[in-house]
Structure 1
Amino acid sequence: MSIRLNKDIILLNPLGNCEELLAKLQLPFSVIHQEMPIDCALPTNPFEFANSTVVVKLLRMQKPHPSLCYMNVKRVVSLNGIILRLPHTRNEAISFFRRLSNHKHRVTTAVGIRYDDQLSSFVVQSDVMMHRLSEKIIAQYVETGEPFEQDVGYNIMGVGQNLVKRIDGSKYNVAGLPLDVLRTFLTDKKIIAVGKEEQVHGN
């Protein structure tokens, strides 16, 4: 199978494992960083919050070029429908994992693209069941620094995979980017074209 780019992809303000995962699609892309503060009220529902965030940020881009495809990703982790604040200190991280321990939480990812003066987005949600985490395990994981490097507070592509008991839904979504849905989305929007590789036979 071969993939052809119809528009150059620009990844806007990537976090966590987003760049590494997008590279798995074997699509060339560039990265840019822009400050785009959100000063409007957003929904509190995780699905609507994530989607509204990518839409607002893409609309507020500075001088987007019409021939390019800009992509923004927003992820949130929620417990019983309440979005959890990401930890920024050691004590916050310990409290964060105490809440997740032996509970099911949800990872919600919104992906938006802006191209040809159009804007489209999709949202993927996955449920994650954590192991029962002892105080020792929590403290050891916090010391790895991973909770402060990820946009959902842990990294299942790293040491954090040992915290997870089960995933209901897309593992890639929990890791940072729902690749299968993204490939279909980009194909449907004609940002990429997917075709079978031609086989050349000798005489």
Structure 2
Amino acid sequence: MDIILASASIRRQELIKRLTNDFTVLVSDFDESTVEFKNDCAAYVMDIAQGKAQWVKNKVKNQALIIGCDTIVSFNGKVLGKPKSDEDAFNTLKMLSGNIHEVYSGLTLLDSFSGNIKKDFVCTRVKFSPLSDEEIKKYIETGEHKDKAGSYGIQGYGGIFVEEIHGCYYNVVGLPLNKLSKMLKGMGVNL
């Protein structure tokens, strides 16, 4: 069975190669704004991941196992998406400074032939060290923040902000490999 990753994320494409090189990418154009946030981060990311997988299912003709994924950062009950500007990124990083936040990823596996679907999520708690305004500005100058939920990338320069992590590191990068591997095995895929 073909495996399709429904994501434009280069990070996810790199990470899935740790499980298999036998996959294709079909970027989902699912409108995430159609999913209403109801104060449940786990349900929210799983619903978006399912929407991405369903969108791709409607575009494929052969039997495939479609992987949908979505990642958000949550702080004090508020979802922090990708920054809209450098100022937005600065304010987000200032808010996370010295605090603990959660990173949620939702995963959906969808068999395009049978319609069989599996959904799950991972939550990782991340603590930032206190950050000075200068440290934040220097980081923003790298441009790394621009396409990252929570305005940072743990796998890049943003990793220096992280004092502690409780949970899956790869979840924070954007694709929880351990959970995905278990879900694939549960769908009968032996990698």
- Aligned match of 1:94: 90
- Aligned match of 2:31: 37
- Aligned match of 1:105: 101
Match of 1:22 among 16, 20, 44: 16
* Greater shift in the superposed pair: 72-81 or 60-69: 60-69
- Aligned match of 2:41: 46
Q: How far apart are 1:40 and its partner, in Å?
A: 4.9
Unaligned runs of 5+ in 1: 1-6, 195-203
Question: Judging changes above 3 Å, is the alpha-carbon distance between structure 1 residues 152 and 97 closer, same or farther for their aligned structure 2 residues?
Answer: closer
The TM-score normalised by the length of structure 1 is 0.85
Identity %: 26
3-state secondary structure, aligned to 1:78: strand
Is the CA contact 1:15–1:151 (under 8 Å) kept in the aligned structure 2? Answer: no
- Aligned match of 2:67: 71
- Aligned match of 1:179: 177
The TM-score normalised by the length of structure 2 is 0.90
Give the Cα separation in 2 of the matches to 1:30 and 1:65.
14
3-state secondary structure, aligned to 1:193: coil
Give the Cα separation in 2 of the matches to 1:35 and 1:110.
17
Give the Cα separation in 2 of the matches to 1:175 and 1:23.
14
Q: How far apart are 1:13 and its partner, in Å?
A: 2.3
Give the Cα separation in 1 of the matches to 2:174 and 2:28.
20
The equivalences for 1:128-143 within 5 A come to 128-143=126-141
The equivalences for 1:116-195 within 5 A come to 116-190=114-188, 192-194=189-191
Q: How far apart are 1:109 and its partner, in Å?
A: 0.3
Structure showing greater relative contact order (alpha-carbon pairs closer than 8 Å, 6 or more residues apart): 1
Q: How far apart are 1:155 and its partner, in Å?
A: 1.1
Give the Cα separation in 2 of the matches to 1:103 and 1:16.
28
Higher helix share: 2
The count of residues paired between Structure 1 and Structure 2 equals 187
Give the Cα separation in 1 of the matches to 2:65 and 2:44.
22
Question: Judging changes above 3 Å, is the alpha-carbon distance between structure 1 residues 140 and 161 closer, same or farther for their aligned structure 2 residues?
Answer: same
Is the CA contact 1:54–1:74 (under 8 Å) kept in the aligned structure 2? Answer: yes
In structure 2, what residue type is equivalent to 1:147?
Answer: H
Q: How far apart are 1:176 and its partner, in Å?
A: 1.5
Is the CA contact 1:17–1:150 (under 8 Å) kept in the aligned structure 2? Answer: no
Question: Judging changes above 3 Å, is the alpha-carbon distance between structure 1 residues 43 and 66 closer, same or farther for their aligned structure 2 residues?
Answer: farther
Give the Cα separation in 1 of the matches to 2:109 and 2:2.
12
Give the Cα separation in 2 of the matches to 1:63 and 1:17.
23
Q: How far apart are 1:34 and its partner, in Å?
A: 3.4
* Greater shift in the superposed pair: 82-91 or 40-49: 40-49
Question: Judging changes above 3 Å, is the alpha-carbon distance between structure 1 residues 66 and 118 closer, same or farther for their aligned structure 2 residues?
Answer: farther
Unaligned runs of 5+ in 2: none
3-state secondary structure, aligned to 2:153: coil
